[in-house]
């Protein structure tokens, strides 16, 4: 009799420990941080395909999209909320399809006027400084390698970041003036000629303006990185795809 009780108690205790672990993981993913994988090259050169990102939840407060599953009611206000800064790299739920998660850089805040004119970025009527920073070899999503002209762009708050710019006459190099409404942000990819971002409206299959509610968090670092192209090689060559220099590197 005693052994049956002990056995039952042991099972209940094990189940209780498992539930506790699951709840702790969910709490950490909701309140503290979460990992995200980069599947595309839209944020080159800052982020590479195959990067695993550490995304912190607390800088912008919390909304239903802070949850692993967005089950809470919709609301434009965030708990302990604050706006991102221009230049922050953020993860957000795609407004037209919240089941998809995107990563881009914040360019415009509420009240800002953003425009591409002659392949240059303008914010609030001023053209942003841009200087050449050499050429980088980059492998695209199709596996083809090409040379990418690299530039350093300076945002109105003084923050600098690298971008790739291949051409000056693309479809998104001359746009209308986008005025960012309250409760929204304007985001762009650093790979300017290969990024579907706020320059493309949602009705055309793009991102459009991003409601602040849709923010998941701020990208802080690259936890690890592995080149998915090595999957085409024999399995014993796969470890060569590890980009060790990117492990635990800070995202600017």
pLDDT at residue 18 above 50?
no
pLDDT at residue 137 above 80?
no
What is the percent of the chain where pLDDT is above 90?
A: 62
- 6 vs 148, higher pLDDT: 148
Per-residue model confidence as pLDDT tens digits over 206-233? 999 999 999 999 999 999 999 998 888 9
Q: Is 165 a catalytic residue?
A: no
Q: Please tell me the predicted confidence (pLDDT) of residue 231.
A: 85
Average pLDDT value over all residues in the chain: 85
pLDDT band at 139 (very low <50, low <70, confident <90, very high): low
- The catalytic position among 63, 104, 198, 225 is 104
Edge-first strand order for the sheet with 178-179 is 126-127, 120-123, 113-117, 178-179
pLDDT band at 83 (very low <50, low <70, confident <90, very high): very high
Q: Please tell me the predicted confidence (pLDDT) of residue 237.
A: 87
Q: Please tell me the predicted confidence (pLDDT) of residue 123.
A: 98
pLDDT band at 23 (very low <50, low <70, confident <90, very high): very low
What is the percent of the chain where pLDDT is above 70?
A: 80
Q: Is 3 a catalytic residue?
A: no
Q: Please tell me the predicted confidence (pLDDT) of residue 205.
A: 94
CATH topology of domain 32-250: Umud Fragment, subunit A (2.10.109)
pTM: 0.84
Once rounded to an integer, what is the mean pLDDT over residues 1-21? 50
Tokens of 25: 């993981």
Per-residue model confidence as pLDDT tens digits over 61-77? 888 887 765 555 666 67
pLDDT at residue 142 above 80?
no
Q: Please tell me the predicted confidence (pLDDT) of residue 146.
A: 73
Domain range annotation of the chain: 32-250
């Amino acid at each position: 009799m005693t052994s049956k009780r002990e056995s039952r108690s042991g099972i209940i205790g094990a189940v209780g420990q498992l539930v506790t672990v699951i709840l702790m993981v969910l709490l950490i993913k909701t309140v503290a941080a979460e990992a995200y994988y980069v599947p595309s090259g839209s944020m080159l050169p800052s982020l590479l395909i195959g990067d695993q990102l550490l995304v912190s939840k607390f800088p912008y407060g919390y909304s239903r999209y802070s949850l692993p599953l967005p089950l809470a009611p919709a609301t434009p206000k965030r708990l302990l909320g604050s706006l991102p800064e221009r230049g922050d790299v953020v993860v957000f739920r795609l407004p037209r399809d919240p089941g998809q998660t995107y990563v881009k850089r914040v360019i415009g805040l509420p009240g800002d006027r953003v425009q591409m004119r002659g392949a240059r970025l303008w914010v609030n009527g001023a053209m942003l400084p841009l200087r050449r920073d050499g050429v980088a070899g980059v492998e695209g999503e199709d596996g083809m390698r090409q040379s990418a002209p690299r530039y350093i762009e300076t945002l109105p708050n003084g923050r600098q970041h690298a971008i790739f710019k291949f051409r000056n006459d693309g479809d998104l190099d001359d746009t209308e003036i986008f005025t960012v409404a309250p409760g929204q942000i304007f985001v762009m990819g650093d790979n300017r000629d290969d990024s579907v971002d706020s320059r493309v409206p949602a009705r055309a299959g793009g991102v459009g303006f991003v409601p602040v509610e849709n923010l998941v968090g701020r990208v802080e670092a690259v936890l690890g990185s592995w080149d998915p192209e090595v999957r085409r090689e024999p399995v014993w060559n796969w470890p060569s795809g590890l980009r060790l220099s990117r492990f635990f590197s800070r995202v600017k």
